[in-house]
């Protein structure tokens, strides 16, 4: 063995020993790193449970105890607005249309002129009746003078008196016929239909115009036999008018049917709506909300309910002070847009978060301050 071979063996041994030492050190370092990584992950998990803030403080929220309270039960029914009264104005006498004074779909005042008929013939009849009555009056006066001198008989005086009365009645009739040449509106309202032109001939009874009284409109609602007993004349109703941008107006129940309608087996309930501004029109679709009693129900502020993908959720605080997200079913509270009624998913006595929801997620520890709902 040469000198070079003798030197190479110790070097190899030293190299192997170095590798063993390095491997041992690396394993020790790796084990220590794994332990530290696990400890760091545990600390992060604990921080997440404690809250979202870097300081680890719990989110502060306000919570109310869910309790059942008397809640108004309201039904929503639809109908079509109708005028409080309407009438077809017809011709009383025959004649030709001289003038159409009103316009279709326009407002008109009571006794406002709708149509004028040619008055020529009725005027002639009035003149003839006036002449006949004047003659009869003169004859009656003459017979009375003769009778006072016992020249005229009692029978002649009676005939003169009867003729005067007959001629006076004929005069009144002729004047009435002349008045009927002017066709007027019977009340303030809306001219809903008027389809005549000058020169047209009308007979007695011919419909001239339809006039609607829109100062008050009525909404007839079909109510079931289970609910009609809870409605009384005079009750208030909230009515939504769709064509007016879902405008809400207040109405009042004015009539309630005592027998169901044959076609629907529903009881008609009539709600009256004042229409002073004239914005509501007959034929508009409307929805009415009627109170039909109260039942115990849980109500929450609308801000306490989270809506995601058409589903509703609330945060409930459990016994460990953790916020738990719970799915619920809700519906609006009539006349109270700031509240929702919980129908399913929430037990009475549960602590519900009503403010501070933005900083919550399911399972987070919270610091809850109690609050009482109105």
Same domain, 135 and 167: yes
- Per the structure, how many domains does the chain have? 4
350: nearest Cα among 328, 320, 312, 318: 318
Same domain, 270 and 257: yes
Q: What CATH number did the domain enclosing 170 receive?
A: 2.40.50.100
Q: Which of 246, 262, 294 is the last residue of a domain?
A: 294
Same domain, 45 and 142: no
Whether pTM > 0.85 for this model: the answer is: no
Report if residue 343 sits inside a domain: yes
Query: What is d(CA 238, CA 241) in angstroms, rounded to the nearest whole number?
Result: 10
Q: What is the pLDDT along the chain (374 residues), one digit of tens a residue?
A: 443 344 444 433 334 344 444 444 434 344 444 545 455 544 444 444 444 444 458 888 899 999 888 877 788 899 999 999 999 999 999 999 999 999 999 999 999 999 999 999 999 999 999 999 999 999 888 888 887 777 667 888 889 899 999 999 999 999 999 999 999 999 999 999 999 999 999 999 999 999 999 999 999 999 998 888 888 899 999 999 989 988 899 999 999 999 999 998 999 999 999 998 889 999 999 999 988 777 788 889 999 999 988 899 999 999 999 999 999 999 887 667 888 889 899 998 999 999 888 888 899 998 888 888 87
Task: Report the b/e string of 140-174 with b at 16+ CB within 10 A.
Answer: beebeeeeeeeebeeeebeebeebbeebeebbeeb
Report if residue 55 sits inside a domain: no
Same domain, 262 and 349: no
Same domain, 170 and 263: no
Query: What is d(CA 168, CA 160) in angstroms, rounded to the nearest whole number?
Result: 12
CB atoms within 10 A of CB 235: 17
Query: What is d(CA 241, CA 287) in angstroms, rounded to the nearest whole number?
Result: 7
Report if residue 256 sits inside a domain: yes
Report if residue 223 sits inside a domain: yes
DSSP letter for each residue of 37-54 = HHHHHHHHHHHHHH-SST
Q: By residue range, what is the domain housing residue 134?
A: 87-208
Q: Which residues contact 188 (CB under 8 A, 6 or more apart)?
A: 107, 108, 109, 110, 213, 215
Same domain, 302 and 290: no
Contact of 157 with 147, CB cutoff 8 Å: yes
Same domain, 183 and 288: no
Site of tokens 């403080």:
57
192: nearest Cα among 64, 105, 310, 322: 105
Query: What is d(CA 183, CA 149) in angstroms, rounded to the nearest whole number?
Result: 51
Report if residue 29 sits inside a domain: yes
Distances (CA, A) of 291 to 2, 10, 81, 237, 337: 116, 104, 20, 8, 16
Report if residue 110 sits inside a domain: yes
Q: What CATH number did the domain enclosing 365 receive?
A: 2.40.420.20
Q: What is the 3-state secondary structure (H, E, C) of 313-341?
A: EEEEECCCCEEEEEEEEEEEECCEEEEEE
Same domain, 194 and 234: no
Q: Which of 153, 182, 208 is the last residue of a domain?
A: 208
Q: Which of 269, 294, 319 is the last residue of a domain?
A: 294
**φ, ψ (nearest 5 deg) of residue 217:** -110, 150
């Amino acid at each position: 063995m040469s000198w070079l071979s003798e030197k190479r063996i110790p070097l190899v041994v030293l190299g192997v020993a170095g590798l063993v030492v390095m491997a041992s050190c690396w394993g020790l370092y790796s084990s220590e790193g794994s332990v530290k990584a696990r400890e760091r992950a545990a600390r992060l998990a604990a921080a997440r449970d404690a809250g979202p803030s870097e300081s680890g403080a719990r989110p502060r929220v306000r919570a109310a105890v869910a309790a059942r309270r008397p809640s108004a039960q309201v039904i929503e029914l639809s109908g079509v607005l109708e005028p409080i009264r309407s009438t077809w104005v017809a011709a009383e006498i025959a004649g030709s249309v001289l003038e159409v004074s009103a316009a279709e779909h326009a407002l008109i005042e009571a006794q406002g002129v709708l149509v004028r008929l040619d008055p020529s013939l009725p005027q002639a009849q009035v003149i003839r009746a006036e002449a006949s009555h004047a003659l009869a009056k003169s004859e009656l006066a003459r017979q009375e003078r003769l009778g006072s001198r016992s020249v005229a008989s009692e029978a002649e005086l009676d005939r003169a008196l009867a003729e005067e009365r007959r001629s006076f009645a004929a005069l009144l009739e002729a004047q009435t016929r002349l008045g009927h040449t002017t066709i007027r509106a019977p009340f303030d309202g809306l001219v809903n239909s008027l389809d005549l032109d000058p020169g047209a001939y009308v007979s007695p009874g011919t419909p001239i115009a339809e006039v609607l009284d829109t100062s008050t409109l009525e909404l007839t609602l079909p109510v079931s036999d289970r609910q009609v007993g809870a409605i009384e004349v005079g009750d208030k109703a909230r009515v939504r008018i769709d064509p007016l941008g879902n405008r809400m107006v207040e109405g009042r129940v004015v009539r309630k049917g005592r027998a169901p309608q044959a076609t629907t087996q529903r009881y008609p309930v009539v709600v009256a709506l004042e229409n002073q501004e004239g914005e509501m029109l007959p034929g508009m679709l409307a929805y009415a909300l009627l109170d039909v009693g109260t039942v115990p129900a849980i109500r929450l502020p609308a801000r306490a309910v989270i809506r995601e993908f058409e589903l509703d959720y609330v945060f409930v605080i459990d016994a460990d002070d953790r916020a738990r997200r719970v799915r619920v079913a809700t519906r609006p509270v009539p006349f109270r847009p700031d509240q929702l009624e919980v129908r399913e998913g929430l037990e009475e006595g549960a602590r519900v978060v009503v403010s501070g929801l933005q900083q919550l997620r399911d399972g987070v520890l919270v610091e809850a301050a109690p609050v009482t709902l109105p």
